[in-house]
Structure 1
């Protein structure tokens, strides 16, 4: 998991190295592909936060650098506190909670030296298609980054995570096909239990379907379409139905979902591109730079120019 641009202690079995595979023309945040250690089968790697920290001298937390990956990061904190930036928001993860960084998220590490717990990295293709469909609401880009399972599920989830770690380290104990099948089965069981811990599943099937369609429509159209009424027309439902589905799924109204997506894109472009404030405003469909400035300042407390020059990500 260490980039070739950074030093790492040469240790047998060290974590996978994200390999820069693409870079957006307007951005400076690298996109890394999955590249586990030699001999690790398929797109799944399991280690611990403490081992990862011990095996790498100064990356990726000193100095902190934002990046994106084509794979998922899943971390259970069992001791200490983990702080991690996901899409420009600092998340604090305490024992018993899980951090789930989805593929494509802009993320940045803080020094994890006080945190302990299993650290799972996996490519989306590792999950079987039928299981992936069940997990779709929880692998979505806007799903919660920090998960707090029901107390009754906490011991089971931790035990399964450590069973997965043990199986991952047992390469050679069983035939390779059986070894990989066991790892994938344990991972799927872990994800299904974590995602559907009581209180985690936000919606019934009808409202969930409405919100999924709304989320996809926003992702495609947020630069040009900004009114809830227009999305309701697009999806063939009432504004009330759409608003309820968004509220149940996210705890936010439909208008706030739209605005937060625009705000996220504004943060990305201001921080990681050379676009002018005027160009960002036009790209996001604001009538002028002043309107964009008011929108941004109301939600962040900073002007776009001040946000761009701020030192943190």
Structure 2
């Protein structure tokens, strides 16, 4: 637990000069109270204004921009910090495809900021009370904050268009009008996207017909189930090529493509450039 301004002061020009992408292994949660924060999440730049929260989740590739103009609490926590019953209630907001920028309900905004400040105070008060009580209080404050933040309008169900649902720049489709079948489809996809690549694979896994799954995808994402599968594979390919610097051959093997040429055609069709060109662009110092 820290603040954006302390993080900036402690790290001087790292990791934003030059920008260095990295893959998150735990949750980054930032409330901007002053200024503006720019931050890349999965190669899409997000702008976070005062009153908004940035949430980078484990597995996301992130890239900092100079945060010196921003102020606010900065919370980092591992997934294991949440009790299973709380994690279950938070499933829509802690999933990898939840919105990266959250705007709380106006009635919650003040209390969210106060809870974040309480959490910061408790973190800095190590030794004020017994260690067990200190740890329990921090966990309780974190859970209270996340449960309130999970009810942000961004996470609520709303209509979605085919254009933004199929875009690699929009990872919010899960929370925009998703039916139970569609949400189960996304959960199954997240576990099996490396091995299962056909719509009928998922229909069989979910115990429904291809037609039912296709309708659920259309209702939940405004696009076909095949496009949802392809976009998830493309996202992982972008992460591995851009941050991890994997070769096209390694990515092809990892994602279950029959060969590198097949993967190259897939990537160029969906990303608009070859894997090598994409990797070279991501290696440039501007993220």
Give, in angstroms, the shift of residue 224 of structure 1: 4.1
Displacement over 6 Å in runs of 4+? none
Moved more, 250-259 or 173-182: 250-259
Q: Distance in 2 between matches of 1:290 and 1:56?
A: 42
Give, in angstroms, the shift of residue 222 of structure 1: 2.2
- Any stretches of 5+ residues in structure 2 without a counterpart? 158-173
- Any stretches of 5+ residues in structure 1 without a counterpart? 1-45
Q: Distance in 1 between matches of 2:92 and 2:49?
A: 23
Q: Distance in 1 between matches of 2:140 and 2:55?
A: 19
CA spacing shift, 1:152–1:101, aligned 2, 3 Å? same
Q: Distance in 2 between matches of 1:299 and 1:149?
A: 33
Q: 1:128 aligns with which of 83, 87, 101?
A: 83
Please tell me whether the aligned partners of residues 48 and 117 of structure 1 are also in contact (alpha carbons under 8 angstroms): yes
Asked whether 1:76 is paired with 2:31, we answer yes
Q: Distance in 2 between matches of 1:150 and 1:248?
A: 26
User: How is 1:157-172 mapped onto 2 (pairs within 5 angstroms)?
Assistant: 157-172=112-127
CA spacing shift, 1:126–1:250, aligned 2, 3 Å? farther
Please tell me whether the aligned partners of residues 185 and 206 of structure 2 are also in contact (alpha carbons under 8 angstroms): yes
User: How is 1:257-276 mapped onto 2 (pairs within 5 angstroms)?
Assistant: 257-271=228-242, 272-275=244-247
Q: Report how many residues are paired.
A: 265
Higher relative contact order (CA 8 A, sep 6+): 2
Match of 2:68?
Answer: 113
Q: Deviations over 1:98-144 (max 9, x none)?
A: 11111232222111111111100112222122111111222122222
Moved more, 87-96 or 283-292: 283-292
Give, in angstroms, the shift of residue 76 of structure 1: 0.8
TM-score (norm: length of structure 1): 0.74
More helix by share: 2
User: How is 1:29-178 mapped onto 2 (pairs within 5 angstroms)?
Assistant: 46-178=1-133
TM-score (norm: length of structure 2): 0.80
Q: Deviations over 1:281-300 (max 9, x none)?
A: 45534566565444333433
Moved more, 185-194 or 74-83: 74-83
